[in-house]
Amino acid sequence: MRRYVEYFLATARISILSQIQYRVANYFYMIGMIAEPVIYLVVWSTIAKQLGGVVGGYTAGAFAAYYIVWTLVRNMNIVFTPFGWENRIREGELSMSLMRPVHPIISDIAYFSGWKVVVIILWIPIAIFLAWIFKPTIEFTVLKAIVFFIAIWGAFLIRTMLLSLLGMITFWTTRVSAIFDLYFALELILSGRLVPMTLMPAWVQNLSNYLPFKYTFFFPIDALVGNMSTNELWMGIGMQIFWITLGASLLSLVWRVAIKQFSAVGG
């Protein structure tokens, strides 16, 4: 266990050092990513104003809070993609990772965790700037802040499991971008990335309760900017743990089959 912790910290350190090297690129990337929530924010703020200041319980200030926090959650949600798996197999990088006495997915989690530290630091000035422009209304409590902090890492892990599972498909075929696109479309609608889930039709909200997507976007954001009860907050964390555990179990199962496939045909 101690060895794993040491490995985790060393990999995260390498990631932080690498991302610091790319700090300008990282900043431009994050700034580019802001375009998406700002568009949503402007549209919904305009609609709210036209409808007397409130849409589905959200004021312009509440929308601002939602989408500003969205920018951090979105960045926390960046994980190793299925396209990355495809590339890793095609270019032979997986062979070199498999020669190390550490699971490649553990390496990914460690590396991206380090990256997140840089992301959080770079996000702070962006959030201050957006707050100055859009004037969010937000009620902080210590409990909300703690749950939010846990939830953004939970979101990162759920999405790592989901996208790694998708990535496993590339062990059999590399022509799967259509499946990836379908996944991303579902995620857009069912996660709260496009609009807060409470603005969606009831049946979409119901459906999202049985799927992991909303625990990667809506739940962490709403935990900080919404009005969830203490019970709901901890229930949300419980659901994140459930999806992480289920995802990890499935991934472990699929990995065993996938790696046999890889070992049978090479790469």
Residues lying near other proteins in the complex (CB under 8 A): 3, 6-7, 9-11, 13-14, 17-18, 21-22, 92-93, 95-96, 98-102, 260, 263-266
Of 52 and 266, CB closest to other proteins: 266
Closer residue to other proteins, CB minimum distance, 7 or 149:
7
Residues in a beta bridge with 55: 58
Dist CA 118 CA 140 (whole Å): 24
In single-letter form, the type of residue at position 201 comes to: P
CB of 239 to other proteins, least distance (A): 33
Smallest separation, CB 42 to other proteins (Å) = 37
Angle between helices 230-265 and 218-225 (to 10 degrees): 160
Q: Which is nearer to other proteins, 173 or 231 (CB)?
A: 173
Cβ pair 21, 118 in contact under 8 A: no
What's the min distance (Å) between Cβ of 78 and other proteins?
19
What is the spatial distance between Cα 21 and Cα 231, in angstroms, rounded to a whole number? 42
DSSP SS3 for 196: coil
Q: Locate 159 and state its tokens.
A: 């999405």
Residues 6+ apart with CB under 8 A from 20: 118
Contacts of 236 (CB under 8 A, 6+ apart): 147, 151, 215, 219, 223, 228
CB of 102 to other proteins, least distance (A): 6
| Largest interatomic CA distance in the chain | 64
> Between residues 18 and 209, which has the closer beta carbon with respect to other proteins?
18
Q: Please, which residue, 57 or 92, has the CB nearer to other proteins? A: 92
Q: Is 260 exposed, middle or buried (0-12, 13-18, 19+ CB in 10 A)?
A: exposed
Dihedral of the alpha carbons of 114, 115, 121, 123, in degrees to the nearest 10: -150
Between 17 and 182, name the residue whose CB sits nearer to other proteins.
Answer: 17
Sign of CA dihedral 56, 62, 63, 65: negative
Taking the C-alpha atoms of residue 205 and residue 208, their distance in angstroms, rounded to an integer, is 5
At its nearest, how many Å lie between other proteins and the CB of residue 18?
Answer: 5
Distance in Å, CB of 26 to other proteins, minimum:
12
Least Å distance between CB 75 and other proteins? 20
Nearer of residues 102 and 207 to other proteins, judged by Cβ:
102
